[in-house]
Structure 1
Amino acid sequence: MNFKRFLKWLAPVSLTAILILCTIVQGWSAPTAAQTQLHWYGQSAFKLTTPTGKVILIDPWITNPVNPNGKTDLATLNRADLILVTHGHFDHVGDAMTIAKKTNAPLVSTADLGQALVESGYPKNLVTLDTQGNFGGEISLLNNEVKVAFIPAIHSSVIASDGSPAKYAGNPGGFLVTVQNGPTIYHTGDTDVFADMALIPRFRKVTLMLACIGDRFTMGPQRAATAVGYVKPDRVIPMHFGTFPALTGTPAAFAAELKQQRVGSRLQVMKVGETIRL
């Protein structure tokens, strides 16, 4: 076979091979990268699932009045890798002790709150220096997959249970949770707006802010919108509203204030029991 005849023979073979290859490539898609997921149980209770499947609970009052599936959710929650609690009030400690005893999840909190919870029945072996801190500090957890910074809050913090006198539980706070290959989430805890919130984005860009808006016991929609303006997150999700009649702040009023104050962050209102991907 001379060279010209070889080329004539090769051309259709190569074309066929290319067409087959193109067909295979078009039918194949690369695996979708795992994403961080956020689930809202109502009030200030969230479940954060990292791209590798680690489960982080924040203020886990799962059986709160606005969660119709609370008892089932608590019964079927078989994994937690960390439990974060912002302060000592019952609607934030919530079901933390029950979950800790069930899952052996370490407690992440300020040291004063951790000690107060141990005295109130939280398993002592799950409250260690490895997961305790204070405002201005940051700790790396879960093999450096997650960083948690302790943010102050303007509120109060006591533990009262079984009719016993209220016990001081340290200063209240919030958390800045940074997920490796994922978002940075600021959970405000219960707080009023304060000007130092404007310092948060100087140290780390906030992807998502979970902001209390209920009024009466925390900032309401107007002051919460100002807080979002300070933090400048990409998105904001309202929380801590509507659980009790006294919590009169609404997402609609919050949306109006964000617009009035020309805050550029995107508002996303979650439904109780909803899970979103970040």
Structure 2
Amino acid sequence: MKITYHGHSTIAIETQGTKLLIDPFITGNGTTDLNVETTKADWILVTHGHSDHLGDTVAIAKQNDATVIGIVELCSFVAKQGVKKNHGMNIGGKFSFPFGTVKMVMAQHSTGYEADGEMVYLGEPAGFLIESEGKTVYLAGDTALFSDMALFAEAEIDAAFLPIGDNFTMGPEDAAKAAALLKAKTVVPIHYNTFPLIKQDPQKFIDLLPEGVGKVMQVGQTIEV
């Protein structure tokens, strides 16, 4: 699996000849290296309905004829926006896709999306455990620390992507506690430095982890797991 970080919480995964795109926040994201018109995806996974995660999902899904994976209310919303392919899930559910399996897990956060001047409920926030090519990747989405993360360790996580920005999500200290519960081989910080309220030094987070576990990914950088 090749995993590329595109700023904030936007991540691309190439596996089984398929491209997955997670939380494609491009428009208004000063940290990303992507632009909407040239972004490719076969599947788009959205952790929750906030604008910095749902982002440009509708436009990218339409131009690529991609399938959106998310909680059922969010999938219903994008379908009404003209997205033809979607796969709704819910917390605790697991499904086998052509590229591997996706399990939707809980995240402690809020959700809501402003559309036509009104706040629309787009289902509960979530994280994803993706299994493909014998590897497991955990995408936490936006979340606080919660003790049930210890259960996710049973999936033998190869790489975990955890928010560290604080204010809206876990900060570095709680994210380090989450990493200890998850026991992932590699832990990558996300969701920081996009806005002043979530400004962090990612290296300080890395220093809280066991040696060799943490990895700061630069925007556009790719790792293999």
Q: TM-score range by the shorter chain?
A: over 0.9
**SS across alignment from 1:157:** coil
2:67 matches 1:106: yes
RCO higher in structure (CA 8 A, sep ≥6): 2
**SS across alignment from 2:175:** helix
Shift of residue 213, structure 1, vs aligned partner? 0.3
Q: Which residue is equivalent to 1:166?
A: 119
Residues in 1 aligned to 2:127 and 2:201: alpha-carbon distance in whole angstroms: 21
Residue type of the partner of 2:112?
Answer: V
Question: Which structure 1 residue ranges, 5 or more long, are not aligned?
Answer: 1-35
Residue type of the partner of 1:249?
Answer: Q
CA RMSD of aligned residues (A): 1.5
Q: Which residue is equivalent to 1:152?
A: 106
Q: Which residue is equivalent to 1:133?
A: 89
2:162 matches 1:200: no
**SS across alignment from 1:166:** strand
**SS across alignment from 1:178:** strand
Conserved 8 A contact 1:40-1:273: yes
* Residue of structure 1 aligned with 2:170, choices 216, 219, 232: 219
Residue type of the partner of 1:200?
Answer: F
**SS across alignment from 1:102:** helix
Shift of residue 133, structure 1, vs aligned partner? 1.3
Residues in 1 aligned to 2:51 and 2:70: alpha-carbon distance in whole angstroms: 15
Shift of residue 264, structure 1, vs aligned partner? 6.4
Conserved 8 A contact 2:161-2:190: yes
TM-score with structure 2 length normalisation? 0.94
* Residue of structure 1 aligned with 2:141, choices 189, 208, 231: 189
Question: Which structure 2 residue ranges, 5 or more long, are not aligned?
Answer: none
Conserved 8 A contact 1:232-1:264: no
Q: Going by fraction, where is helix more abundant, 1 or 2?
A: 1
Residues in 2 aligned to 1:215 and 1:249: alpha-carbon distance in whole angstroms: 8
Q: How does 1:4-153 map to 2 (within 5 A)?
A: 36-50=1-15, 52-63=16-27, 64-67=29-32, 69-71=33-35, 74-77=36-39, 79-119=40-80, 121-123=81-83, 125-127=84-86, 131-142=87-98, 145-153=99-107
Residues in 2 aligned to 1:218 and 1:249: alpha-carbon distance in whole angstroms: 12
Shift of residue 122, structure 1, vs aligned partner? 4.4
TM-score with structure 1 length normalisation? 0.77
Q: 1:187-215: CA deviations, max 9, x gaps?
A: 0000001000001122x110000000000
Q: 1:102-128: CA deviations, max 9, x gaps?
A: 011111111122123334x141x312x
* Structure with the greater alpha carbon radius of gyration: 1
Q: Which residue is equivalent to 2:161?
A: 210
Shift of residue 247, structure 1, vs aligned partner? 0.2
Aligned residue pair count: 224
Residue type of the partner of 1:242?
Answer: N
* Residue of structure 2 aligned with 1:269, choices 209, 212, 216: 216
